[in-house]
Amino acid sequence: MKVPILLPNIFNHPFTYESKLNLKLGDYVVVPFGKSKIIGVVWDEFEKENSRSFKIKSVLKKLNVTPLKKTTIKFLNWFSEYNIIPKGMALKLVLLRSNVVEKLQKDTFKIFETNTKKHSIKLSEEQKKTLKKMNISNQKFRVHVLQGTTGSGKTMVYFEALRLILNKGFQGLILLPEIGLTGEFEKKFTEFFGFIPAVWHSGITKKKKEIIWSGIANGEIQVVIGARSSLFLPFKKLGLIIVDEEHDQSYKQDEGVTYNARDMAISRASFENIPINLITAVPSIETYENIKKGKYSISKLEKRYQNASLPNYEIINLNNIKLEKQSWLSKKIIDRVSSHLDKNDQVLFFLNRRGFSPHVLCNKCFNTYTCPNCSINLVYHKNKNNLLCHYCGFKSSLKKSCLKDGDCEFIFSGPGVERISEEVKKNFPLKKIEIFSSDTMNKKDSGIKLEKILNNEIQILIGTQLISKGFHFPSLNCIVVVDIDLSLQGHDLRGAEKNLQLYHQLSGRAGRTGKPATVYFQTYNTNTQMISDLTNSNPDIFLDKELKIRRQNNLPPFQRFISLILTGDNEVKLEKEALKFKTSIEGKIFGKILGPVSAPIFRLRKKYRIRLLIRGAKTSKLQSSLASIILNYKFQPGIKLTVDVDPINFN
């Protein structure tokens, strides 16, 4: 008997094998491939007829693994076509480094045993009403958005929705945008449900991944809390998907296989015919448009937990204040912060820049220090006393020979969180101060630091946007946005939307336990209306304006963008190839092609980068017409094409 076997590699079709085994769709098998043995899955269609004759090899072994479900196979086929990636690479996302785990002993999963307890948390009337609306038509596919002011108790509502699904014997998946959020979230989950969920992300051990993968495939594990990749686990009986912070741009996978985990989660729910809940304080522009069209249902939580009020806002115009040399904090801010500290409030200085200074130059030879592998500045990190590239990880010593004479004398231009930390320490020498960024909070002691912050043992935080995501700091009642102007610059299509979400998330960290709280904006920007729009308690006003601009200019979500990036070692060869490739596409796809142009970061990890942008109607014809051209186009050796459907960043 001939069977189609899909292998986890770069091919877009299954291979034909022979087998005397009783094989069914979704079975995991071992087959010979070239000189090696490889694991594959019995797929739902044969490869297209090939004119050349070849000897058909035999399947070596059927593995003792629960078969991949038909609905999952359909989802992976669709995923491959939508994102223009080979089917084999889509399958690879399901496997464990191209491997699987055969059935384990039941005892292995004892730690994850479900024992749903009754918790003591009582929902408010508003939360109960929201839950009721969320649970309508929970038997089949539908997308429901739970929008709520930060601190309004959204988590408790969707935990209750999940409990109903678990009680019916189904599995649940909760997607989180950041690995750093899983620890605190796991505690919250265990307190509520009385059992330990499986936590899935790139940081967990190989052994633990094997146990979770097997437990999910066999239905021994009921709940997974995970980052993007958990979406591809081989669930046996998935009943509900929850995407927390659905607006977060971290759901976009930019390296390797590119995809948006939120959008793919909605699609997987559709193929499984199960409900999906999107949770947010401020919806993404795509989600907001789908709500307006009536495609998604919505319920809102307008009151914060225990009726805590939202923080006040105060704009401090830096045009009217003279800052001292090498200072980024005005006297007015220092005075405001002092009064908050006197009331035992915790304070956060927010600046979305890691390190000490983003620009370093020599005072004598005026040489600036850029990464030798990427076309960006090296950032000075004072704590490590080195220059660092935030893209490729290149490190360099600060000691440099001057082009003029002796060693370089450095000028550090612009602040990062380390620099703000130094200034804060000078002003508040007796206070406990901590930097909250990916450099400091992804370490082993980050749990201890978090505990100290929660207990108000650390009075002042200096943080990047990592701090705006899902953390609950009971004593935080003062936030200083060091310079709103830094984040309003640039030519990012999604700049306004990102800022709206960021500042709502950020302000949501303050005043959660009922004490009055204030967010202070230092700014040179005289357009205070923009700040007022960003900080309005009703984000729909801003989103409506943004949608109008997008519609007028035929921008997403009203048109589809597909970004094509060509990379190579030789700049001249790459430019020629990009023009040749554009010519081969023009007139053959259901869309308009723009470019080629050098990417804003035109060199990354020693490779030159050229960008083309395709825009067209939101139809699968755009992808299918492009995919067939890419399949038949032969790029010159050393030139690689990356396809990004629905790009978020344009670097």
Cβ atoms 59, 5 nearer than 8 A: yes
Q: Is 361 domain-assigned?
A: no
Alpha carbon 643 to its chain's center: 18
Kindly state whether residues 313 and 297 are assigned to the same domain: no
The amino acid occupying position 148 is G
Per-residue tokens: 551: 């519609």
The three state secondary structure string of 258-292 is CEEHHHHHHHHHHHHCCEEEEEECCCCHHHHHHHH
Cβ contacts of 90 within 8 Å, gap of 6 or more: 76, 77, 79, 80, 257
Residue 320, phi-psi category: left (phi > 0), alpha (psi -120 to 50), beta (remainder): alpha
Kindly state whether residues 320 and 425 are assigned to the same domain: yes
Q: Which of 521, 546, 571 is the last residue of a domain?
A: 546
Position 410 confidence tier, pLDDT thresholds 50, 70, 90: confident
Q: Which of 49, 70, 94 is the last residue of a domain?
A: 94
Q: Note the pLDDT tens digit of each residue in 172-186.
A: 999 998 877 677 788
| Phi, psi (rounded to 5 degrees) for 565 | -115, 125
Kindly state whether residues 478 and 567 are assigned to the same domain: no
Number of structural domains in the chain: 4
Per-residue tokens: 271: 């193929």
Per-residue tokens: 235: 């669930």
Instruction: Provide the pLDDT for residue 230.
Output: 96
> Using CA atoms, how far apart are residues 388 and 142, in angstroms rounded to an integer?
46
What's 494's domain CATH number? 3.40.50.300
- Residue 635: count of CB within 10 angstroms of its CB: 14
Reduced to 3 states, what is the DSSP secondary structure of residue 63?
coil
Kindly state whether residues 143 and 289 are assigned to the same domain: yes
Q: Is 186 domain-assigned?
A: yes
> Using CA atoms, how far apart are residues 215 and 160, in angstroms rounded to an integer?
23
Q: Is 512 domain-assigned?
A: yes
Report which of residues 125 and 93 the model is more confident about. 93
Q: What is the mean pLDDT of residues 81-88?
A: 95
Kindly state whether residues 277 and 314 are assigned to the same domain: no
- Residue 122: count of CB within 10 angstroms of its CB: 8
Q: Is 253 domain-assigned?
A: yes
Q: Which residue has the tokens 């045993």?
A: 113
Across 120-129, 409-418, 630-639, which has the greatest mean pLDDT?
Answer: 630-639
Percent of the chain whose pLDDT exceeds 90: 49
Cβ contacts of 255 within 8 Å, gap of 6 or more: none
**In the predicted structure, residue 53 carries a pLDDT above the cut 90:** no
**In the predicted structure, residue 490 carries a pLDDT above the cut 50:** no
Cβ atoms 352, 420 nearer than 8 A: no
Kindly state whether residues 218 and 319 are assigned to the same domain: no
Across 39-43, 387-391, 415-419, 644-648, which has the greatest mean pLDDT?
Answer: 39-43
Q: Is 372 domain-assigned?
A: no
Kindly state whether residues 326 and 202 are assigned to the same domain: no
Q: Is 407 domain-assigned?
A: no
Side-by-side strand order, sheet with 2-6: 15-18, 2-6, 36-42, 28-33, 61-62
Kindly state whether residues 84 and 112 are assigned to the same domain: no
Kindly state whether residues 477 and 624 are assigned to the same domain: no
Kindly state whether residues 460 and 483 are assigned to the same domain: yes
DSSP state of 311: P
Kindly state whether residues 168 and 237 are assigned to the same domain: yes
Ranges of H-type helices in 145-260: 154-167, 182-193, 206-218
Cβ atoms 511, 310 nearer than 8 A: yes
- Choose the weakest-confidence range: 198-202, 303-307, 540-544: 303-307
Per-residue tokens: 317: 């115009």
Q: What is the mean pLDDT of residues 634-643?
A: 93
Cβ contacts of 468 within 8 Å, gap of 6 or more: 350, 502, 505, 506, 508, 509
Q: Is 17 domain-assigned?
A: yes
**In the predicted structure, residue 402 carries a pLDDT above the cut 60:** yes
Q: Name the pTM for this structure.
A: 0.89
Q: Which residue has the tokens 């009971």?
A: 474
DSSP state of 407: B
What's 603's domain CATH number? 3.30.70.600
| Full residue range of the structural domain in which residue 618 is found | 560-645
Kindly state whether residues 587 and 631 are assigned to the same domain: yes
> Using CA atoms, how far apart are residues 538 and 22, in angstroms rounded to an integer?
60
Is the Cα torsion angle 102, 108, 111, 115 positive or negative in sign?
A: positive
